[in-house]
Amino acid sequence: MSWHREWIAIERSVTDFSEICSDFVSALNANSSDSLGTMKNVILPMAEEIADRITVLGERYKTQLPNNVLELISKLDSVHFDSGYASNTLKNPTAIAHFSSRFQKFCSDFNYLTSDLEGTVVRLTARSFIHLQRSIIADESIQEKWKIAISKNEMACEKLGAVHLLQHGIWSFKVDGIGERTDLVLGEPITDRELNDVYLSAEGLVLTEWKIANQLNYLKKYQEAQKQAERYTRGSLASIELKSYRYLVIVSNELLSELPNDIEKEGVIYKHINIAVSPSTPSIYARK
């Protein structure tokens, strides 16, 4: 399970809370009295609930979130909602803006610190491709599956590759002719239901284009893969989608002689990957 979906819900609650606080302070300026007890019965309980949800988020996903994010969450303990501080706030209702500002700053800091998670997804993706190639070398049964796949078609390779990447927390997809996300395993557009599965199961959603090639045509195939990847214009899926990298994967029998350098175009880096299903020897692979 991933933390992204819960965080989006918390962010929305903070936005709602800030609007309620703003409306409340405006009303106080006009009436100078909280005769309905909005502060005590609505605002302070809501603030405490948001803080509790953030704390639970940190506890539930402490293995996924960076340490500096966990430290940020722990600092919310210094905000007291049911003690003397809250009582003092009741005497000076406009001070409720403190809670709103505190949560807004927390959201800003949280988003800044977790923005580095894109780097985590890049590393996970790199690890998954390295693991795949070494698994083909080390495990004859895996190598045989890939030999069968390359003898069939690119779709067969896409399916095997997508399942392998998912083991590393990477949900990969390609794009169709109009730039829509397409599931590599199911071969169908990714619907809202599948997006929910992505949130629940993956650390990152990554665009990949898979081609079968040999030493003579692989440069042309990489170009084709890049053109297809460039069709994707839908934008990102919150913070779970890898925005700055797309992966062009050539499946070949032997290792390709030389991979092109990565290409950056309009803020997106296109990385060239080669998976060889029958590499000559491990020593040759290591030199590559």
- Greater pLDDT, 116 or 156: 156
User: Average pLDDT for residues 2-31, to the nearest whole number?
Assistant: 83
The answer to whether the CB of 75 falls within 8 A of the CB of 127 is no
Give residue-wise pLDDT tens across range 100-138.
Answer: 888 999 999 998 887 766 778 888 999 999 999 999 999
Would you give the distance in Å from CA 135 to the centre of its chain? 26
Average pLDDT, the chain: 83
pTM of the model: 0.62
- Quote the Cα angle for 240-104-88, to 5°: 145
- Given a cut of 90, whether residue 281 has pLDDT beyond it is no
| Whole-number pLDDT of residue 64 | 67
pLDDT (mean) for 193-218: 86
Return the pLDDT at 90: 54
Predicted confidence band of residue 234 (pLDDT cuts 50, 70, 90): low
Q: Give the pLDDT band (50/70/90) at residue 85.
A: very low
**pLDDT (mean) for 159-185:** 89
Lowest average pLDDT, out of 31-35, 204-208, 213-217, 284-288, goes to: 284-288
Q: What pLDDT was estimated at residue 165?
A: 95
Residues of the chain with pLDDT > 90, as a percent, come to 43
∠ CA 170-175-177, rounded to 5°: 175
Q: Which are the contacts of 125, defined by CB distance < 8 A and separation ≥ 6?
A: 165, 168, 170, 204, 206, 242, 245, 247
Residues 97, 114: Cα–Cα separation, whole Å: 26
pLDDT at residue number 177: 74
pLDDT of residue 93 exceeding 70, the answer is no
